[in-house]
Amino acid sequence: MYRRGVAVDASQQGSVELRSFVERYLAAWNGCDTDAMAQLITEDIVWADPALPEPARGVQAVQDFMRASTRAFPDLHIGEPDPPVLAVDREVVLWAWYMQGTNRGAIDPPGFAPTGRNARVEGIDQWTMRDGRIARYRAFYDMNDLARQLGIVPAAGSGAERGMVALQRLQARFSRR
């Protein structure tokens, strides 16, 4: 069940524990505390994020992703919308969040150079919990919006976008031959 602003669980104690978990999760991300994150995820975590070419598997891979994220966005901040939203159904948690930061380091993968631009995106995480830790993680957010904010993808309706569309059409025409 869910209710805006609070987790609704079979017991009030479960809600308090989940709220505490979210606070520890936010502190881990906002401090790039990879050791703290290791305490929140299972050893066999599968971490699917649109920024990754394939899911990260295992604690070390998630820690590497955290480090790469904070190298790309040294002022990375993750927060909750006002009011925070959690949905809980047995072992599955949906959590609404936002992230913002300035791109001052390479985005790797795939290797984009820093743009110096600020970005803010909102998303939803889906956590499948096991023994009080995240065992499966999946993030949902608009990567195209993030890429546009950073100047990696041309602005909608711009001449650069029209040129990109023309090149894609040309490529599609040649690939059909």
Each residue's pLDDT tens digit, 87-114: 888 899 999 999 999 999 999 888 899 9
Give percent above pLDDT 70 in the chain: 92
CA distance readout (Å), 29 to 63, 70, 152, 155: 10, 9, 24, 29
Among 5-9, 96-100, 160-164, which range has the highest average pLDDT? 96-100
Mean pLDDT to the nearest integer, 152-177: 90
Query: What CATH number belongs to 2-141?
Result: 3.10.450.50
pTM for the predicted model, two decimal places:
0.84
CA 135 to chain centre: 16
Q: What is the pLDDT confidence band of residue 14, given thresholds at 50, 70 and 90?
A: low
Task: Please give, one letter per residue, the 3-state secondary structure of the chain.
Answer: CEECCEECCCCHHHHHHHHHHHHHHHHHHHCCCHHHHHCCEEEEEEEECCCCCCCEECHHHHHHHHHHHHHHCCCCEEECCCCCCEEEECCEEEEEEEEEEECCCCECCCCECCCCCEEEEEEEEEEEEECCEEEEEEEEECHHHHHHHHCCCCCCCCHHHHHHHHHHHHHHHHHCC
Rounded to 5 degrees, φ, ψ at 81 are: -65, 165
Q: What is the pLDDT confidence band of residue 65, given thresholds at 50, 70 and 90?
A: very high
Q: Which of 1-5, 58-62, 162-166 has the lowest mean pLDDT?
A: 1-5
Q: Which of 6-15, 43-52, 91-100, 163-172 has the lowest mean pLDDT?
A: 6-15
Question: Does pLDDT of 6 surpass 90?
Answer: no
User: pLDDT tens digit string along 124-138?
Assistant: 999 999 999 999 999
Residue at token pair 């999946």: 138
On the question of a cis peptide bond just before residue 83, with omega within 30 degrees of 0, the verdict is yes
pLDDT at 137: 98
Q: What is the pLDDT confidence band of residue 17, given thresholds at 50, 70 and 90?
A: confident
Q: Which is it for the CA torsion 125, 130, 135, 136, positive or negative? A: negative
